[in-house]
Structure 1
Amino acid sequence: MSDNQRARFVLQYGPVADRVAAQTGISRDVLLSQWGLETGWGKSVIPGTNNLGNIKDSSGRGVRARDNMTGSRDAYRAYATPEAFGNDYASLLARRYPGALGAGDDVMRFSSALKAGGYAEDPRYVDKMASIYGGLTGAPTAGLGADAPTDYPIDADALYGIAPAAAGPASGPKIGKITTAPGAISKSMASQQTQGQDAAPTPAAQTPDYSAWIDNYIRSIVNNA
């Protein structure tokens, strides 16, 4: 992950983070750190979704992508704009993770509340969040010990996504950035959002499911390696 890539992500989504911060009492840097962890600083956003938090769609009508933890293909919420994502994300925190509200710059409190509420299954989620926040802000890394890295490596292939090189050739279907929709971060549709009433409506336009094409392309890379 390059500093330029992180800087571009912060520049692009900083205004969205500012709006969510005003609604939730969570600092923009903590929010950007979590979205950066979810997407590899933008390298692994599910195409056509603007879903920076990999929020699953319990209605099953969202964009299909592979869950990296379970191997299942699940539906993920799609938003017309990053701002629409931000509004739904703030609403989800208020409903499902009230302990995260008002966390301010306390990244440990914020990430621990998400972990306890079922947003994340990764046992190192809190530590990774603290490390990434430290790399973004220069704040001391909390909870990781003296030998911990100051910025956890979040290349898409190292954590929750597919390496961008595996996204397919330029001549193929227009895939853009590919994600394996990390199950390590998004637990299960039922436990993350609970019952159908928490499901946000998805846009009328349906994004094609490229999962089979991606799987076949990756298999061809492996077979020809």
Structure 2
Amino acid sequence: MTPDEFIAWLGPVAQRVCRKYGLPASVCIAQGALESGWGRYVIGEYNLFGRKAVAGDKSITVTTQEYINGEWVTINDEFKDYDSLDEAVEDWCVLMTEEPAYADALAVWQETHDVEQFVRTMGPVYATDPEYADKVLATIRANDLTQYDEVMA
């Protein structure tokens, strides 16, 4: 999938679902692009976000790289296995709005509606990569993803 094809596939779903939660679809799309390599490395059929499974989740075992104690390490881990793209985006929105670890990021977003501040607050919680927030923001800018944050008439 090319970046344009990926955005055309995920963009409308992210826009619709994120709007229900009051979240920026641009961040959802950029994270999906980064986490899945523009759709090349989707876990199962729809886990674009690298969401790990917890007890009771439908899951799939995947070999992955984690940044641990200052170095990249290869591990096997359990990841969520979604039945639809809508379900995956909905789960991302629930994570951002209900998981206490993201409370500061959500508060920043609700107070400022500033995508950069939201990403810089959320990024270090979401990923072990110390450059993750910069990568998300660069993806948003390079692909004009903030257009998906606008309310469509």
Percentage of matched positions with identical amino acids: 28
| CA RMSD across the alignment | 2.4
Matched, 1:57 2:57: no
Among 124, 132, 138, the alignment partner of 1:131 is 138
Tell me the alpha carbon deviations over residues 99-153 of structure 1, each in whole angstroms, 9 at most, x when there is no partner: 333468633222222234x2111111111111111101188xxxxxxxxxxxxxx
Q: Which has the higher strand share?
A: 2
Question: 1:1-225 counterparts in 2 under 5 A?
Answer: 5-48=2-45, 50-59=46-55, 62-69=59-66, 70-96=73-99, 97-101=102-106, 102=109, 106-116=114-124, 118-137=125-144
Contact conserved, 2:26 with 2:145, CA < 8 A, in 1? no
2:58 & 2:21 partners in 1: Cα distance? Answer: 27
* Paired amino acid for 1:94: T
Flag structure 1 segments of 5+ consecutive residues without an equivalent. Answer: 140-225
When Rg is computed on C-alpha atoms for both structures, the one with the higher figure is 1
2:145 & 2:44 partners in 1: Cα distance? Answer: 31
Flag structure 2 segments of 5+ consecutive residues without an equivalent. Answer: 67-72, 147-153
Q: 3-state SS of the aligned residue for 2:78? A: strand
2:38 & 2:87 partners in 1: Cα distance? Answer: 19
2:49 & 2:145 partners in 1: Cα distance? Answer: 23
TM-score with structure 1 setting the length: 0.53
Q: 3-state SS of the aligned residue for 1:67? A: strand
Aligned residues: 134
Query: Deviation of residue 61 (structure 1)?
Result: 5.6
Contact conserved, 1:63 with 1:76, CA < 8 A, in 2? yes
Distance 1:111 1:124, change over 3 A: same
1:67 & 1:134 partners in 2: Cα distance? Answer: 27
Moved over 4 A (4+): none
